[in-house]
Amino acid sequence: MSKYHFNDIEAKWQKYWAENQTFKAENPVLSEVKGKSEKPKYYVLDMFPYPSGAGLHVGHPLGYIASDIYARYKRHQGFNVLHPMGYDSFGLPAEQYAIQTGQHPAETTKVNIEGGVDKNGNEIEGYRKQLDRIGFSFDWSREVRTSNPEYYKWTQWIFIQLFESWYDANLNKARSIEELRGIFSSEGNIHLNAVCDEGITHFTAFEWLDFSEIKKQEILLKYRLTYLAETEVNWCPQLGTVLANDEIINGVSERGGYPVIRKKMKQWSMRITAYAQRLLDGLNELDWPQSLKDSQTNWIGRSKGATVNFPILTFPKGEGTRPGYMTGGNNSRVLLERAKDMRNNSTDAEAILWEYLKSKKLGCKFRRQHLIDDFIADFVCLSNKFVIEVDGKIHGNQKEEDEKRTSILNELGYKVIRFTNEEVIGNLDNVLDTISKSIEQSDIPPLGARGTIPVFTTRPDTIFGVSFMVLAPEHDLVSKITTAEQKEAVENYIEATAKRSERERMADVKTITGVFTGAYAEHPFSGKQIPIWIGDYVLAGYGTGAVMSVPCGDQRDYDFAKHFNLPIPNIFKDADISEEAYSDKENTIITNSDFLNDLNYSEATEKIITALEEKGVGEGKINYRLRDAVFSRQRYWGEPFPIYYKDGMPQIIPTECLPLRLPDVEKYLPTEEGEPPLGRAEKWYWNEKNKEVVSPPLEGSGEDIFPLELNTMPGWAGSSWYFFRYMEDEKRDEVFASKEALNYWKNVDLYIGGSEHATGHLLYSRFWVKFMHDRGFVNVEEPFKKLINQGMILGESAKIKTLLVGLPYNENNVTKIHPIKVKLSFYSKNLLPETTDWFKDENIEKNIIDQILNDIPESFTNIFGENNPIANRLKGEAKSEIISVLKGHLLFKYISIPVDVNMIDGVDKLNIDKFLEWRNANKLALYYYENGNKFFVSREVEKMSKSKYNVVNPDDICEQYGADTLRMYEMFLGPLEQAKPWNTAGITGVHGFLKKLWKLYHSGPDETFFVDENPPSGGQGGLKTLHKTIKKTQEDIENFSFNTSVSSFMIAVNELSAQNCNSREVLEPLAILISPYAPHISEELWQKLGHSESISTAPFPKFEQKFLVESSKEYPISFNGKMRFTMELPLDLSKEEIESAVMAHEKTAQYLEGRTPKKVIIVPGKIVNIVG
RNA sequence: GCUCGAGUGGCGGAAUUGGUAGACGCGCUGGAUUCAAAAUCCAGUGUUUUAGGACGUGCGGGUUCGAUUCCCGCCUCGAGUACCA
């Protein structure tokens, strides 16, 4: 006698697979001996899991089961399958535990994976054991962990390659920095077309060769694919780190949900924008869900339009336009005469200084005795907004005057530096040094922005509709163009907007805010003055951070104009803009627009771009929403950057010194100075000469010792290339993956995981792979050919109803309800109506009220606390008196509270004993049962989470029903991509199926194993069932429709059981069919069938049509499209023969009721429809 | 707001290119077995009904001999995104 002992069977085969390395993938070997690698390759990968300490719930393995079924299927199909698993083990959660507990994150991570004692002191099994129990066919010999130095050595290596690369926009690929140096030395950067920082000055080859090494480094940094830059970042104060855009959900951090604010910091960035177009184009070749491609397309956000440069009219007071150097106020005419006079009668000190300043030795142009507003400044550098004053003897009131003068100049945006005559004459070198240092420190606007405001627009055709401009509050030019009058208002506004968190800003889109800068720009075609405003509806990060506002054509501009009473000129023929902007492109005819009049959208766009380019004030441009990715994290638990700083410039650690190991620190928090945790490391300096990590240098020594980078890499660093690492098995010390391995495995054929990685991991990986391809490190351009998103498995929370009792009272004319503590009552689901409001006692059974009142404590202060008006009033009254007061006033309300789903038996039936054990206090509660002793809970579908007590652990399911049942049931729940609720009660169906399957092979006496070696008796029923199932299973697996193949197995086993089939010819192929889904039972049956090898590579049964050939068909006979009856007819009948057979049928006459059919539709093998 | 996806029994879901709507499983009802329960097995199970039928795939139209499937217009729910100039 042999029952289906799934626990024993599963343990046996899991052990067998591990000992025999059954699922080890084989790399190509160069020797003569060829193994699995002679077979075609297939690479199945699951998205990299983070080994959380919370353990798995039944939702987690869903994708792994699907990919495992596919991997096993491919092995049956004769492929050499690579199906690896590993851990994305760096990351924030481990570090948060480390901060709380002081344990090293490496330790907690190890425990999470391998088991041990967790942070709460509980013994946990670990991720690996949980996975093993489900019977996955992973090749564990290739496991990787991103936090292992042997692994992150190569993450650091790739970072160095990015650092040593730049993007050639002509060739459209990344090239090495060495080549860029070559170009600079031979032709400078004048003809270079590279993706780089904004505002790079041009230089010749001659100048390049003359630059100091530091200057060269500084320039190269602007071209590198990973670069250091001051950027506006998403700072999360609670997490103490910067977050990338994709790590922020609804304005709060993805992990923890903490607020995020904007902040400027010096950060490593990745120049992913260089790849924007290729990332977009590459999507076309990928077999990915459309919605996922759409998210990436939206995220990259390509838009076509033009940039237009609007000249700034710096001073709006004067009439007309004036050259930019005329900075005088309304009294200019008089003062200019005086200035001329002063120039001719300068002091000695002024004369000496001027000799040096006018020669441009300091690198910028100075003017002397120059008019600024109503002052004559001694020396002015206009481009740097820098004033030098040389003072004579200082009297008391002179000093006061000077201070006033300085403060007004400051308000105008000038930096003022003062020297005495004696200083200039006595120590000129010192004075010049001070000046040049001060100039360096002052903010210089980016080159392209000086003098003009560039804007990006997708509607250059509407340029004549511009009536104002708006800059983002953070825009660099704001402080430089704001007039003295508007300074205060502008500063207040900037301060107010910077304080608002992202979330507030997003929540409050409706409120229109902004302020006028006082400055004007000139319309490049009409020459009209255009007021420049700032407003936070303009985002600093998109386009140029400035817009040309066309209120008649853009709703946001329209709203802004209406709100601030700005003009709304109409440039659309016959468009009504009295209520809202007219944003339609298709039916637009432009008017009031000079040379664009009477043109439509596309004609006008084409013409204006030509005009912009001819006039040199703009050009056609493609803009992307995608930003360069911030790559620094102010965290401990991540890859250290292989970078040290020499003279403030980043230098790379030689690759032979990698890995640069993460140092130990005593605390995982920022230092007192606000440096990242690595600032706490005792040894975190680089000795350039000895090539080693050392302690900080002592005073006066250590010219070879330099500080190492304190930031670490973000979570996506390690996960952007791990799929290549799995390809390598033997040469992991030498290379990230060998050429042979890369050539053989190429890329991932099937990638399964959640859709939450749409714009993070999946975009960054594609970027890195394209980069690695450009530089020749890999030979594919896309990492994942086919991708499937598995849907979430939701929990079915169990809720029980309980009754709340409250007493209404009046406080400041507001009715409040004071809760009254009474014995808790719990009600079975069907006993109560679905109400959520408070109701009066007339709707409640009298005995319940009596019960409640009876339980009310003697003393009212027990219920209400001291000093409560009700309690005070009733103080000292007898209980009976109190009850009579309360009676008729009490309010009641039913609420649902969650109970642990593991206390539910069968369908929604609460196990009261377990419940009592769980909530000790509830022993005193009252329970209201239905039908005698049944107590039911209500159900609600929600996300699985501990707080909702609806988590179902796969270990428990394996224990109770077996891994094969779990695997099949997860698939049976519904389509892989769809979200669906888990219902443990339903698992009995699948479990019953496996028992039935077992029984099918155990039809011998006393249920012993039995197969018949003869061909199936009783006709070909068995073979027909088998081949029908082969066909269906194969189609289903290839379409990833795993739920329907489970159904077809059930049908097959039901049919074969009914046929009493026990023929080897049927049962042996059937075991292979089911093996990808239920591998343990299949291996066991396979062995019983007499095989000594694992079933895992047994060839998949071949479908043969001949077994399905039918000679007749049960035709449905319809009348006017409604099926009335069926009749069996031979399939080889002609249409005419079918028609006459149908017409001869007695029921036909009955349904026709004497009418003559107008038409008879016959589709042979399908249907007959009689019309009439 | 925009983009994408989905609406079918009490529940999860099936239905190939337009061709017998509700496969398979859960639950429920009845029966067998059992001292009893579990397990197992058998039968039934969309709604309605005057038992012939009528109505049924979110709603309203359309195309067709025939529509869950195709077209048009709406409604609801879910996911993503968020002032992208």
Looking at this predicted complex, what is its ipTM? Answer: 0.94
Give the pLDDT score at A320: 34
Give the C-alpha separation, A551 to A537, whole Å. 14
Look at residue A506 and tell me whether its pLDDT is greater than 70: no
The answer on A1163 and A1100 residing in a single domain is: no
The nucleotide lying nearest A250 (C-alpha to C1') is B82
Strands A80-82 and A41-46: parallel
The two three-digit tokens of residue A460, written as one number: 């250059």
Residue range A69-79: mean pLDDT, rounded: 96
Residue A244 lies in a domain: no
Average pLDDT of chain A, as a whole number = 85
The answer on A457 and A385 residing in a single domain is: no
Look at residue A321 and tell me whether its pLDDT is greater than 50: no
Residue A755 CB lies within 7 Å of the nucleic strand B: yes
Nucleic chain B: which protein residues 954-993 of A have CB below 7 A from it?
972-975, 978-981, 983, 985-986, 988-990, 992-993
A659: preceding bond cis by omega (within 30 degrees): yes
Residue A30 lies in a domain: no
Residue A931 CB lies within 7 Å of the nucleic strand B: no
The nucleotide lying nearest A908 (C-alpha to C1') is B27
Give the pLDDT score at A318: 35
Instruction: Convert the pLDDT of each residue in A259-279 to its tens digit.
Output: 777 777 888 999 999 999 999
Residue A185 lies in a domain: no
Residue A4 CB lies within 7 Å of the nucleic strand B: no
The answer on A963 and A1085 residing in a single domain is: yes
Instruction: Convert the pLDDT of each residue in A189-214 to its tens digit.
Output: 988 999 998 778 889 999 999 999 99
Residue A1039 lies in a domain: yes
Q: In CATH, what number is assigned to the domain containing residue A351?
A: 3.40.960.10
Q: Which of A624, A659, A693 is the last residue in one of the domains?
A: A624
Q: How far is CA A701 from CA A29, A278, A696, A698, A1109, in A?
A: 53, 50, 10, 6, 91
Q: In CATH, what number is assigned to the domain containing residue A986?
A: 1.10.730.10
Residues 6 or more apart whose CB falls under 8 angstroms from that of A280 comprise: A296, A297, A300, A302
Q: Which of A441, A468, A495 is the last residue in one of the domains?
A: A441
Instruction: Convert the pLDDT of each residue in A627-669 to its tens digit.
Output: 899 899 888 999 999 999 998 899 999 999 989 999 999 989 8
Instruction: Convert the pLDDT of each residue in A276-316 to its tens digit.
Output: 999 999 998 899 998 899 889 989 999 989 999 998 885 43
Q: Is A143 in a helix, a strand, or coil?
A: coil
Which H or E run contains A454?
strand A452-457
The answer on A893 and A799 residing in a single domain is: yes
The answer on A596 and A482 residing in a single domain is: yes
Choice among A195-209, A306-320, A534-548, A579-593 with the minimum mean pLDDT: A306-320
Give the C-alpha separation, A118 to A110, whole Å. 10
Residue A728 lies in a domain: no
Measure A1089 CA to B40 C1' (Å). 26
Measure A356 CA to B58 C1' (Å). 84
Residue A790 CB lies within 7 Å of the nucleic strand B: no
User: Which residues, listed in sequence order, are joined to residue A232 by a DSSP beta bridge?
Assistant: A264
The answer on A1117 and A1100 residing in a single domain is: no
Q: Which of A917, A942, A967 is the last residue in one of the domains?
A: A942
Look at residue A323 and tell me whether its pLDDT is greater than 50: no
Measure A1024 CA to B5 C1' (Å). 38
The answer on A575 and A437 residing in a single domain is: no
The answer on A904 and A839 residing in a single domain is: yes
Look at residue A814 and tell me whether its pLDDT is greater than 80: no
Residue A629 lies in a domain: no
Residue range A515-533: mean pLDDT, rounded: 91
Of A544, A492, A530, A485, which Cα lies nearest the Cα of A514?
A: A492
The answer on A432 and A464 residing in a single domain is: no
> Domain residues for A890?
794-942
Give the C-alpha separation, A991 to A963, whole Å. 10
The answer on A1034 and A938 residing in a single domain is: no
Count of CA atoms in the C-beta half-sphere (13 A) of A46 = 27
Q: How confident is the model at residue A911 (pLDDT cuts 50, 70, 90)?
A: confident
Radius of gyration of chain A (CA): 39
| Phi, psi dihedral angles at A618 (to 5 degrees) | 170, 180
The more confidently predicted of residues A849 and A100 is: A100
Look at residue A459 and tell me whether its pLDDT is greater than 70: yes
Residue A1108 CB lies within 7 Å of the nucleic strand B: no
Look at residue A916 and tell me whether its pLDDT is greater than 60: yes
Residue A1158 CB lies within 7 Å of the nucleic strand B: no
Choice among A581-590, A801-810, A1068-1077 with the minimum mean pLDDT: A801-810
Residue A556 CB lies within 7 Å of the nucleic strand B: yes
Give the C-alpha separation, A730 to A183, whole Å. 40
Give the pLDDT score at A449: 36
The answer on A520 and A407 residing in a single domain is: no
Measure A375 CA to B28 C1' (Å). 95
Residue A469 lies in a domain: yes
Look at residue A319 and tell me whether its pLDDT is greater than 60: no
DSSP 8-state secondary structure symbol assigned to residue A548: E
Give the pLDDT score at A445: 39
Instruction: Convert the pLDDT of each residue in A937-951 to its tens digit.
Output: 888 888 888 888 888
Nucleotides of strand B lying closer than 7 angstroms to a protein CB: 3-5, 11-15, 19-21, 23-28, 39-41, 53-54, 65-67, 78-85
The count of structural domains within chain A is 5
Look at residue A249 and tell me whether its pLDDT is greater than 80: no
Q: In percent, how much of chain A has pLDDT > 90?
A: 44
Residues 6 or more apart whose CB falls under 8 angstroms from that of A945 comprise: A795, A951
Q: In percent, how much of chain A has pLDDT > 70?
A: 88
Instruction: Convert the pLDDT of each residue in A744-787 to its tens digit.
Output: 999 999 999 988 888 899 999 999 999 999 999 999 999 999 99
Residue range A211-220: mean pLDDT, rounded: 94
Residue A293 CB lies within 7 Å of the nucleic strand B: no
Count of CA atoms in the C-beta half-sphere (13 A) of A237 = 6
Residue A109 lies in a domain: no
Measure A985 CA to B10 C1' (Å). 15
Count of CA atoms in the C-beta half-sphere (13 A) of A1106 = 3
User: Which residues, listed in sequence order, are joined to residue A806 by a DSSP beta bridge?
Assistant: A819, A891
The answer on A1062 and A999 residing in a single domain is: yes
Q: In CATH, what number is assigned to the domain containing residue A557?
A: 3.90.740.10
Q: How confident is the model at residue A578 (pLDDT cuts 50, 70, 90)?
A: confident
DSSP 8-state secondary structure symbol assigned to residue A640: B
Give the pLDDT score at A664: 93
Residue range A226-238: mean pLDDT, rounded: 82
Instruction: Convert the pLDDT of each residue in A100-134 to its tens digit.
Output: 888 899 999 999 999 888 767 778 888 999 999 99
